[in-house]
Every structure is written in C-alpha cells, then in structure tokens.
Amino acid sequence: MYSSQTSEVRKREVVSHFLAEITQEAMEIDRQNTPSTGEGKQESKTIVVLLMGPPGSGKSTFCDEVIRISARPWARICQDIINNGKSGTKIQCLSSAATALKEGKSVFIDRCNINKEQRADFLKLGGPQTEKHAIVLDIPAKVCISRSVKRTEHEGKLQGGKAAAVVNQMLSKKELPKLSEGFNRITFCQDERDVKEAIGVYGSFGPLDSLPSGCFGQKMLDTKTQQGIMRFLKKVDPSGNAGSGPTVVEKSITNEIPVKRLGKGDKLDIASTSGDVDSCNIYTLAFPSISTADFQFNLERASDIIVEKVEEFVSRIGKSKIRLLLVDLSPESKILSMVKTKAVQKNVGSNKFFTFVGDITRLRSQKGLQCNVIANTTNWRLKPGGGGVNAAIFKAAGPELEIATKERAETLSPGKAVVVPLPSSSPLYTREGVTHVIHVLGPNMNPQRPDCLKGDYGKGCKILREAYSSLFEGFLSIAQGVGSEHNIERPLESGGVQEVIPTNDDLKTKRGAVYESDKNKKYKGSGGATKAWGSWAQALYNIAMHPDKHSNVVLEAQVHLLVLARADGLDSIADVRREHIPLLKTMHAVGLKWAEKLINENGSLLFRLGYHSVPSMRQLHLHVISQDFESSHLKNKKHWNSFTTPFFLDSVDVMKELEDEGKVTLKNDSKFLEMELRCHRCRSAHPNIPRLKSHISSCQAPFPAALLQNGRLVSSEVTANFCN
C-alpha cells in the first residue's frame, strides 16, 4: 500500500512538473503570436477541445468528422493509440497535445474525461490565448452500451460484454463540466441531431474564426424547489438554494443552439469590471433602449436612466441566475457606448448586465446567444407597423404574437409594460427559443408621433423610469414563474372573494399580465409588524386586486385549489378580525362548493379547508386540499408539515375563534415545520418523503378523532349540510 501511494504521488509530481514546462513554452508562443496593433494583423488562436463521454458515445467519430471537413488544422489525441498505435498514458497525451499546440494546431482530447479530476491537467495546456472547449456527448446509456457491445475493431479493444460493464461504471461517476473549471465554451449533445449540429459548427470553424463563450444545449437543470406554496406552482430556484431568490418556470429554459460564429463587431461586452461573460442556464432578457429611436428621447438622459434602473435591478436579484442584455443593431450605436461606459464607471452588473450588437430577433440563430425573453418598444395600440424594433419583432414572431397580444391588452399607457407568452407555433419561439415578449411603452419626444411631451423632460424621465421598472418587473415575474398559458379566472358574483377554478392541470399561475412597478412596499404582518413581501410573493395579491388584468388565471393542482379574498389590507390570517367573519364564511362556502363538485366526480376524495399560520405569499387565501396528497411537487418536510401539523389552521376553527376572541391565535412556531414526518392518518413516523409517500398511498387507517369533528374533514355530507 505504501509503495502504491508513493508511486501515485510521484506520478502527480511528474505531471505537474511537465505541465509547468509546457505552460511556460506555450505562453512564450502566445506572446510571439499576439497580433501587432500597428499592423492590425490577426493570427489564428489554438483551441483545446475536450471530448467527454463514456465508450460508445461517439467521441472518435466526432473528431474524425470535424477533421475531415475543417479548414482549421487539428490534431486528435487519443490515449488508446498514443503509444505507437497502442494504449498509452496520460502524460503521453499531454506531451502530444503540447507539441501539436506548438505547431499551431488545435487539439481534440479524445478521452472519456468523465469527471473534473480527469479534465484538470488538460485545461492547463497552452497559454492564456489558448481557448478551452468541451463537447459533452451525453448520449443515452443504452445507446452507448449497444454501440460498444456490437463493435469489433475498436482501437482500445473495449468491446463485447466487457464494454457494457465499463459504460455503466463510468456513468455512475459522471461529473458534468462547468465553466468555472476553466472552460470558455461547453456544448452539450443529447442525441444524434445535437452531435451533427456540433460537428457542423466546429467543421466550419476556420483558423481566424471565434465562437461565443458559454454553455450551449444543456436541457436539464440541477435545481431545488422553493419553500412554501411555490412548490405547488411548479417552480425551481435557479440558484439551487431552496427558499431564496427568484424562481424559473421549468419549461421556460430553452436550449442554446450555436449555429453561427460571432462576426466582426459582434463582441459581447461586459458592462462592468468583473464576472464571467456566460454561464449555464442563465435566464436572459434582451431589450432595446426605450424611446431613443422613434421617440427621440435624449441619449444622455436615457443612458443615465438605463444604468440607474439596471443597477437597481441587479442589486435586487442578488446572485440569482438571471441577466439583462441591452441590444442594438448598429455597431456604431451611441446609446450602447454611453451605457457601457457609465456602467463600468459605476461598477454595475458584474456578470448580470451586458451590451451586445446584433438583431434582437435572431440572437440565437445568428449569434449563438440564448435569450428567453425579449422586450419590444411598442406603440400605444400594441399593433405591428411603424419601423425599427416593433415592426421587426412582430414580423419575426408571426401573426401568433399579434393574436396573443390582443388576448392580454388592447392598448398600453406610457411607462407600462405587458407580458405576452409566445405560442409554441410562433417562429420566434421555435427558431430562437423566445418564450415571452414584453411590450413596453416609453415617453414620446417626437413631435411627429402622438402625445409628444414637447421637451418636458421632468415628466419624460419619470415615465422612462417607470417603463424600465415595469419591463424589469415583468421579466422578473416570468423568471419567478408567475405564469402559465392554461389558466382560467372567473370572478365571484359577490365581488368579495376570488374563486380560483380547478382544471386538469397542476397548480399554476398565469404567464402574462400588465405590470406596474410595485417594489419596496411594506405591508401589515403578524401582530401589527410590517413585512416586506418579495415580488413572487405578491402573485396572489395581484390576482385578487386586479382580476380584470388577469383574464386566464388558475391556481390549482389535482384537488388543491385556493380561494382569494378581494380585500386590500388582508395580507394573511393575522390581519383578520371579528368584522371579517362574513368574508371568511363566504370564502369557506366557495371552498365547500368546489370540494363538493370534486367529491361528486371522485367519491374517494376527502378535503380540509384552512389557512397557513404564516403564509409564504401575500393576500389572504384559503387552501382547499384533498387528503390523498398525490403530487409530484410535494418534496420536503416543511411543505408536508405546513399542511399536517397545527401550523395549518382549519377554516371552521378560525371562524369560531374569531367569533369568540375577535382574532386568531397563530401557530407561528418553526418547530411545527421541523417536526418529524408522520402519516396524517395513522401518525406513524417515516424517515423521508419517498418512504412517507409510499406509506400514505396504501394507508387505510382512520383519520385522527379531532379531524373527524366539527366539519374539519370535508365529505359530501358536510358540504351539503353547510351549503344548505
């Protein structure tokens, strides 16, 4: 054992020493090849491309195909044949790769590179001018195994039954690459179509060409679900931290497909002094400058406001994986230059804000930049026509955008924005991966257009600030997942309660609405204290207070729905007093009506109606939840305990306590949410959610006696008696 460890240490020392030598040589070569600014000569840059994938994923085929069609000089470094046609060592691969780089060739590292440790030494090859790329052949295991088992002339002799075992073993240790390892660009390929596209990109990649940095093609996110009711709203936290930061609709992340190279003038400029240019799975808004083209707003004033509102937004979102991209079609754009300069001076944005030259309707297909949402500087009629960005976006999106826009709003006031989810049939969706367009209307300083402010920049600056606030608020609401296109809202005739109608979908909220800036407000909370509600937490409030702006709203899971109070100032059950008893009775009756309807459709269902002691979302809302708890979004202890411990206040008990005491005693004790997982029927304990779910799916024990009293557990008989 001692000699084995000593040998391994010695091997690492040799590799480190070797890398130090070749890195020094590579840096010298880089200095020699750096173009002279006086001559303006452009030299080719070498690239190290690491292929990643198990045997049978197609690494060697990928290299051979690119080398066959490429004008760029490439060298394939394969450990299976590095030793005069026989299997060799990692050091031999490093040496051959270093030699090829010295000769001006780019290199493919044809090894499995299955984890970070295997990749680390190859990322040290070359100097600062040498780019490091990764091609991840994330092909299904059964395909890799089938290929490996069937082949007979493999270079490394890995074939037959042995190959299947090796593939399975490697995949169990797979560690996907990240830009933070030192890569400039990572391309993920999940099927043959992705592979062919990547071959096309690198095959047409000439000696003087460059490719945009970042992650492209990754389809799945490593995410955790946010705490509270947002778990039932199909949201994920892009930062991976439960309960903090904005959330993202699972289906809104569209894959980046790089099919073109950045051309001259297409550099992505970081409007700050630090941070990575790109990273994986960043939810992005691309927006033009508002009112500076057709509406002739002063560029100096406009650039100040852009930087001001971006700084405010970036400060608000913290470390969340979302970003802003200011886009202009002209390489000589004055507004881009001014904004970039001012943003750098104020150190705004880090890796959250960028400026870019390009066509906002073709950022992915032409530039390889994925933008999930784009902004349109529209007219008050929300119609196609005119010139510039408005005409271009309506044309690129097809008639689907005009139809979808009409469903959201007929007109728009200056300073306001309207979020429009794009139908999947829109060319802008299918070609560019844009899921939403946000129409925004700024102030008009053009006397040739309606409602000119005639030089009143006091009013104009106020409207422009409102326009950017509305735009960013709308984008944040999309990123946080306040939206779905399958929603139906039907106001209750009483006017005091918002019915939230069930459909066959899981619990969702609408994707689009008209947004006005509503940040940094304080609202009543428990015991008269103030509480700052985050933007995502105000989704229910917006629905309840502005039902006319939320046509197509539903908050429903299979037998879990909400009833909202249309009463301003009632943020939670803590704000309710004796005078609100009629309202709560109305809400209870609405909940019973829907429970009865669902029970008639499925006689096995039983319901509880109640309130969370401390809700995660603003606006008083009553939960009507069936006791089967069959939901794929029920994933952690706190969520389970929020519905099955004293933290959940039964509606009948709340009304009784209000009648007797005039207010509700809150169970605001975190110990309830941290309690062990127990079955809500037999009260048996379970170590985790999967085990609990397995148990409750078959548990036939009677419910606790307390639940069977006073109508806390709702059946068809209870609903009939109450409603009569």
Residues identified as active-site: 621
Contact present, 141 and 148 (Cβ < 8 Å): no
CA atoms within 13 A on the CB side of 700: 1
Instruction: Output phi, psi for 137, to 5 deg.
Output: -90, 80
**C-alpha dihedral, 160 to 164 to 167 to 169, nearest 10°:** -130
CA pseudo-torsion sign 294, 298, 300, 306: negative
Helix (H) or strand (E) holding 418: strand 417-421
Angle at 180 between CA 219 and CA 197, to 5 degrees: 40
Q: What is the CA radius of gyration of the chain?
A: 30
Q: What span, in angstroms and rounded, lies between the C-alpha atoms of 379 and 390?
A: 8
3-state secondary structure 486-554: CCCECCCCCCCEEEECCCCCCCCCCCCCEECCCCCCEEECHHHCEEECCCHHHHHHHHHHCHHHCCCCC
Residues with Cβ < 8 Å from 356, sequence gap 6 or more? 266, 268, 269, 286, 325, 326, 327, 328, 363, 367, 369
Q: What span, in angstroms and rounded, lies between the C-alpha atoms of 17 and 95?
A: 12
Residues with Cβ < 8 Å from 405, sequence gap 6 or more? 382, 418, 420, 437, 439
Q: Which residues partner with 134 through β-bridges?
A: 50, 186
- Helix axes of 334-345 and 299-317: crossing angle, nearest 10 degrees: 50
Contact present, 378 and 412 (Cβ < 8 Å): yes
**C-alpha dihedral, 56 to 57 to 58 to 62, nearest 10°:** -160
For residue 604, which of 624, 586, 627 has the smallest C-alpha distance? 627
Tokens of 608: 């509880």
Tokens of 295: 């509406």
Instruction: Output phi, psi for 215, to 5 deg.
Output: -105, 135
Residues with Cβ < 8 Å from 637, sequence gap 6 or more? 673, 674, 675, 677, 689
Contact present, 352 and 312 (Cβ < 8 Å): no
Q: How do strand 607-612 and strand 621-626 relate by DSSP bridges?
A: antiparallel
- CA distances 475 to 62, 309, 375, Å, are 39, 13, 9
